[in-house]
């Protein structure tokens, strides 16, 4: 009799768990469809498709949101609370319930009305920005950005109890990180970086003319694809297309795509953007397939995601060992251009450090300064210490202080990045530097486990590195949060030391410091 | 005072009409998203995306269906009944309400449960067919096809009061056509066609070796695109990609795409499939832009749609006048292959008549026999006069009787076309022949209005023909049904006479009859 009741209870739980998963998969499918519409818009869509496409993506995203915050999902999560509590915390079902509950609460705390107003506003602001940037006219976007700031501050209010107003916004992208901890990490990092950059950039500028020859598009693309195939990017579950601003996107664990762009007079654009996006894609392709369609089937934070794009782009893709294997192959692709260029010349060219104004073109050493400038400006805006009208001035001043350069046009300055004009203010930038820090910490741990990794790399073999990353990071998806992944994979919390060791060794050697 | 009430009433009506349109646009957006997922699956999707993609398309289609049959739409249609009645029948708003009401009633008459079971069944059947066809094994699909037949018969029962069980199924694709009328048209057509085919095919086979040389893919594609640009296909609102089975698809009136396939040893495949799909696309691109996102923004029937693909592919694209202009250009593309081939030789090659087994490869003269064979078999199955197990035999017998040929393999026989294995039985084929008939009737009317059309065509000018079609057919979308469009555009109901005149003149001259 009791057995019968227990069976019945179990099967009711199973039923509810299955119903929850079915609902989550439906939400996921709507979001995935919106992502495909976005991918298509960025790759193949004819211009005439624009107006309807914007409307269609909005429809899908809104429906996904409505379906996710449905009271039935709340009820199922409540009903399954005891079940979750009965399971070990790292059980897959328990993890799915935990992560879903977190997302559900987050989504429910933001009123649907507010989200609708916000996304309308963001769509308009983005459109204005696309005109303001080429015109170098901040006054065009200023009133919109002021409203964005108000929206961002209002957004934070839906999550009371924060320590700093930016915390909820940072938490969306990098769950678990707070303003205070991020600021502390960044302050320490800046203290180390600024003098290092000074030392390096006081030396004569490295010659990179070997990279600025004519390299036909098709050959550049073919080379990039050949590299990421060796990395382990699975082309039966992905593909690469051309776009204006490269990105990685996923429609399911069986379909993780990347995009790139090519400059025929700069070899680095297509190659390194391909390696970068492939890093993101390797992460998504490596997630446990049994998580397909659920909230677990995704990278766990902006920082961890970026750690993978930067690891494959920089720690692997700008290393001497990597090019020991691939440079002869690159020379075969471009014998006329590179046949007479030494590996060492090429290696120095792709690792040239230079104080510059554009974040996305920055080298490994200065990149984080660009990020930290934006992060601090975001905080000042949110705190009310900086008015939007004073932002261009503050931007320029920060560049002067950190990089010793001042933008001469606003499109090289405050109008440079899409983030504030295509979303909220706060939480958009810290992930880039967190990712750089993590990339070194992960790579150091992998090398500690397998000291042969660099030697293997110089023979074009990446399976051990890829395997380590898959085992310690990729497979888990969102089962563990960023802090847990870092701790489990490396045995310690996030720290800037591995990153500093990495850049000191690499650039110390490159610049004889 | 009364003015105030009237105003209020008007504004309430307007409000409801706007709400209805908003809901219809949402349904449209979900369907459009499903279409994009389908397009992507047929063009660029990596194989690993398959399982999730099928699920995602099903989710979107089901949601679109649910949203469309929502009781709120029924209520709005009821509330707007007086408004509709107050408007002239050809008013746009009245037409939208009329067409929406028709679709709504049709959709509501089929239970959601049934639709879900049917689409599951169809998905499985399709998958089995993809294995059965290369294996030439009908027994694999037979039990599934038996179930499909039962489903199809059950489907008809949701629309009681029909004259023939196939009528509701024919009505989905070709609203207004019935089994009796279609059968009568087809019987008359067959009586004329069979002896004509006999006469023509008793002559020696035309040499088409000039078409079977090596024609590089890129050049074939470029030529096809150049032609349809002259037709008036708008590339700012469309594009062409490669696929296995060419199709046209639409995501909005601003994004109407076509696909093609290339055989490098057969010039006709890419060129004529491009012209064919462009014909479908010209129709959709020509719809009144104010219908965007509503049920009016679509071709009005399978038959009228096919009339446009066949008109541009055959009546234009296989005419002597067309090639008088384009053949010198084709020779420029392929000087080695065609430089020494006379226009007349080429013209005869692309119009060779041949008794054959494959519908999609058939020439203009025999094509309709293939269609009518399938149409009669569908009817016999639905009527219960033919058992599924006897279908392969019946297929072969029909080919012997109509074309004097018997398939030696099932993949050239009953397993050839996807229609029955990827949908229901009934209503899938008549549109092809209705389209052929209409194409000639429309073209004759256009030529009657503008006798200079063929002469203009021989100078590469298609604007007058395209303009006539846009004015009389394209712009209206679904505002008028097929019978109304035919009547308005040509001044008479659908008849086989223009088609017979067309083929008698063309093939009479080609074969000296």
- The tokens describing B269, both together, are 């495949």
Could you give the C-alpha distances from A450 to A302, A390, A467, A468, B398, in angstroms and in order?
A: 27, 51, 11, 9, 70
Residue B115 pLDDT: 86
Of A78, A81, A97, A73, the closest CA to residue A23 belongs to: A73
- Residue B83 and residue B78: Cα distance in Å, rounded? 10
What's the longest Cα–Cα distance across chain A?
A: 85
Residue A207 gets which letter from DSSP? P
Test B48 with A292 for CB contact under 8 angstroms.
Answer: no
B-chain CB neighbours of A48 within 8 Å are 234, 236-238, 254-255
So what's the pLDDT on residue A28?
97
Quick one: tokens of B181? Answer: 């009328």
Q: Each residue of B337-353: b (16+ CB within 10 Å) or e?
A: bbeebebeebbbbbbbb
Lookup result for tokens 């086979």: B205
Closest CB to B37: pick one of A33, A46, A237: A33
CB contact under 8 A, B255 and A30: no
List the pLDDT tens digit at each of the 513 positions of chain B.
Answer: 455 555 666 689 999 999 999 999 999 999 999 999 999 999 999 999 999 998 999 999 999 999 999 999 999 999 999 999 999 999 999 999 999 999 999 999 998 889 889 988 998 999 999 999 999 999 999 999 999 999 999 999 999 999 999 999 999 999 989 999 999 999 999 999 999 999 999 999 999 999 999 999 999 999 999 999 999 999 999 999 999 999 999 999 999 999 999 999 999 999 999 999 999 999 999 999 999 999 999 999 999 999 999 999 999 999 999 999 999 999 999 999 999 999 999 999 999 999 999 999 999 999 999 999 999 999 999 999 999 999 999 999 999 999 999 999 999 999 999 999 999 999 999 999 999 999 999 999 999 999 999 999 999 999 999 999 999 999 999 999 999 999 999 999 999 999 999 999 999 999 998
Taking an 8 Å cut-off on Cβ atoms, the answer to whether A251 and B292 are in contact is no
Tell me how close the Cα of B482 comes to any Cα of chain A, in angstroms.
Answer: 27
- Which tokens hold the place of A209? 């003319």
Distance from CA of A121 to the nearest CA of B (A): 20
CA nearest B337: which of B473, B216, B447?
Answer: B216
Closest chain A residue to B62, measured at CA: A26
In Å, how far is A138's CA from the nearest CA of chain B? 31
Of residues A46, A50, A254, nearest to B50 (C-beta)? A254
Could you tell me what percentage of chain B is helix, strand and coil, using 3-state DSSP and rounding each to the nearest 5?
A: 70, 5, 25
A310-335 tens-digit pLDDT? 999 999 999 999 999 999 999 999 99
Q: Which helix (H) or strand (E) covers residue B175, if one does?
A: none
Please, which residues have CB within 8 angstroms of residue B477's CB and are 6 or more apart in sequence? Answer: B287, B288, B291, B296, B297, B298, B299, B300
Q: Cβ distance A267 to A219 under 8 Å?
A: no
Best of A56, A250, A252, A294 to mutate (most B CBs within 10 Å, chain B): A56
Residues of B in contact with A56 (CB under 8 A): 29, 32-33, 251-252
DSSP A353: -
Chain B residues interacting with chain A (CB cutoff of 8 angstroms):
25-26, 29-30, 32-34, 36-37, 40, 44-53, 55-56, 59-60, 63, 234-239, 241, 251-255, 257, 292-293
> Residue with structure tokens 């939007």?
A388
How many other CB atoms are there within 10 angstroms of residue A305's CB atom?
Answer: 24
A424/A148 Cα distance (integer angstroms): 6
Partner-chain contact A45 B255, CB within 8 Å = yes
Sequence-distant (≥ 6) Cβ neighbours of residue A5 within 8 angstroms: none
Cα B477 to Cα B96: distance, rounded to the nearest angstrom: 11
The shortest C-alpha distance from B216 to chain A (Å) reads 18
A219-249: pLDDT as tens digits: 999 999 999 999 999 999 999 999 999 999 9
From the list B170, B164, B146, the residue with the least C-alpha distance to B375 is: B170
**pLDDT for position B177:** 93
Rounded to whole angstroms, the Cα distance separating A66 from A75 reads: 15
ipTM: 0.92
Residue B14 CA: distances (Å) to CA of A168, B8, B9, B11, B67: 42, 10, 9, 5, 21
B24 touches B295 (CB < 8 A): yes
Q: Which long-range contacts (CB under 8 A, 24 or more apart) does B68-72 make?
A: B68/B24, B68/B27, B68/B103, B68/B104, B68/B107, B69/B104, B69/B107, B69/B108, B69/B112, B70/B23, B72/B23
The CA–CA distances, whole Å, from B464 to B287, B447, B453 equal 17, 10, 7
Counting one residue from chain A and one from chain B, the pairs whose CB atoms sit within 8 A come to 125
The residues facing A259 across adjacent strands are: A241
Q: What is the DSSP letter of B287?
A: S
Given an 8 Å threshold on Cβ–Cβ distance, is B235 in contact with A40? no
Percent over 90 (pLDDT), chain A: 94
Band of residue A5 on the pLDDT scale cut at 50, 70, 90:
low
Interface contact B236-A48, CB threshold 8 A: yes
Q: Please state, in angstroms and rounded to a whole number, the distance separating the CA atoms of residues B314 and B320.
A: 11
Tokens encoding A512 = 């004889």
- Which residue in chain B is spatially nearest to A62 when comparing CA positions? B26
Task: For residue B259, report the phi and psi dihedrals to the nearest 5 degrees.
Answer: -135, 160
pLDDT value for B112 = 81
Residue of A nearest to B39 (CA): A40
Residues of B in contact with A235 (CB under 8 A): 46
Confidence of residue A112 (pLDDT cuts 50, 70, 90): confident
Phi, psi of B255 (to 5 degrees): -155, 85
Which of A22, A27, A47, A49 should we substitute to test contact with B (largest number of B Cβ atoms within 10 Å)?
Answer: A49
Q: Taking CB atoms and an 8 Å cutoff, what residues of chain A touch B37?
A: 33, 36
d(CA B4, CA B17): 20
Q: How many angstroms separate the CA of residue A67 from the nearest CA in chain B?
A: 11
Which single residue is written with the structure tokens 């009208």?
A: A389
**Cα–Cα dist A74/A67, whole Å:** 11
pLDDT at A218: 97
A138 vs A99: CA distance, rounded Å: 40
Cα A402 off chain centre by = 23
Average of per-residue pLDDT values in chain A: 96
The per-residue pLDDT for range A332-356, each reduced to its tens digit, is: 999 999 999 999 999 999 999 999 9
Half-sphere CA count of A29, side-chain side, radius 13 A: 24
Mean pLDDT of A185-202: 95
Q: Is there a contact between B292 and A63 if contact means CB atoms under 8 Å apart? A: no
Q: What per-residue confidence (pLDDT) applies to B1?
A: 45
| Minimal CA separation from B246 to chain A, in Å | 18
- The string of pLDDT tens digits covering residues A12-38 is 999 999 999 999 999 999 999 999 999
Local structure of B242: helix, strand or coil: strand
Region A147-162: what's the mean pLDDT? Answer: 97
Q: What is the pLDDT of residue A1?
A: 46
| Cβ within 8 Å of residue A31, ≥6 positions away | A60, A61, A64
Q: Which of B49, B56, B238 minimises the CB distance to A29? A: B56
Which of B22, B31, B46, B242 should we substitute to test contact with A (largest number of A Cβ atoms within 10 Å)? B46
Task: Write out chain A residues lying below 8 Å of B29, CB-based.
Answer: 52, 55-56, 59-60
Catalytically active residues of B are 277
Tracing tokens 């196939």 back to the chain, one arrives at B166
Cβ-contact A360, A222 below 8 angstroms: no
pLDDT at B7: 62
d(C-alpha B470, C-alpha A346), whole Å = 59
Distance from C-alpha of A134 to C-alpha of A194, rounded to nearest angstrom = 31
């Amino acid at each position: 009799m009791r057995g019968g009741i227990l069976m019945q209870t179990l099967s009711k739980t199973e039923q509810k768990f299955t119903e929850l998963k079915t609902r989550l998969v439906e939400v996921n499918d709507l979001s995935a469809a919106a992502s495909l519409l976005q991918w298509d818009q960025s790759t193949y869509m004819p211009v005439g498709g624009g107006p309807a496409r914007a409307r269609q993506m909005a429809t899908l995203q809104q429906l996904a949101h409505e379906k996710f915050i449905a009271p039935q999902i709340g009820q199922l999560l409540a009903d399954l609370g005891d079940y979750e509590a009965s399971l070990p915390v790292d059980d897959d079902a328990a993890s799915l319930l935990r992560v879903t509950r977190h997302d559900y609460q987050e989504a429910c705390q933001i009123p649907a009305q507010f989200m609708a107003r916000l996304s309308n506003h963001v769509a308009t602001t983005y459109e204005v920005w696309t005109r303001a940037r080429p015109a170098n006219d901040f006054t065009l976007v200023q009133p919109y950005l002021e409203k964005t700031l108000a929206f961002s501050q209002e957004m934070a209010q839906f999550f009371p109890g924060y320590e700093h107003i930016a915390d909820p916004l940072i938490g969306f992208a990098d769950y678990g990180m707070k303003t205070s901890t991020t600021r502390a990490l960044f302050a320490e990092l800046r203290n180390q970086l600024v003098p290092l950059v000074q030392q390096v950039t006081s030396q004569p500028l490295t010659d990179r003319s070997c990279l600025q020859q004519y390299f036909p598009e098709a050959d550049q693309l073919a080379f990039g694809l050949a590299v990421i195939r060796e990395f382990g990017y699975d082309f039966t579950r992905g593909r690469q297309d051309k776009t204006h601003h490269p990105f990685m996107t996923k429609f399911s664990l069986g379909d993780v795509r990347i995009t790139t762009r090519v400059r025929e007079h700069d070899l680095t654009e297509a190659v390194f953007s391909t390696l970068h996006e492939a890093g993101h894609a390797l992460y998504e392709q490596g997630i446990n397939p049994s998580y397909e369609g659920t909230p677990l089937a995704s990278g766990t934070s902006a920082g961890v995601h970026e750690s993978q794009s930067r690891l494959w782009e920089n720690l692997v893709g700008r290393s001497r060992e990597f090019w020991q294997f691939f440079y002869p192959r690159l020379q075969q692709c471009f014998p006329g251009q590179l046949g007479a260029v030494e590996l060492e010349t090429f290696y120095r060219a792709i690792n040239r450090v230079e104080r510059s104004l554009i974040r996305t073109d920055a080298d490994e050493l200065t990149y984080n300064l660009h990020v930290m400038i934006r992060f601090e400006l975001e905080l000042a805006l949110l705190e009310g210490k900086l008015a939007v009208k004073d932002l261009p001035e503050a931007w320029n001043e920060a560049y002067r202080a950190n990089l010793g350069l001042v933008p001469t046009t606003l499109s090289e300055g405050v109008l440079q990045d899409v983030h504030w004009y295509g979303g909220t203010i706060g939480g958009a930038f810290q992930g880039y530097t967190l990712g750089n820090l993590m990339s070194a910490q992960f790579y150091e741990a992998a090398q500690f486990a397998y000291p042969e990794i660099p030697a293997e790399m110089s023979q074009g073999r990446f399976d051990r590195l890829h395997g380590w990353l898959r085992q310690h990071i990729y497979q888990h998806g969102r089962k563990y949060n960023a802090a847990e992944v870092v701790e489990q994979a490396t045995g310690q919390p996030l720290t800037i030391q591995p990153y500093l060791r990495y850049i000191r060794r690499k650039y110390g050697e490159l610049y004889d410091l």
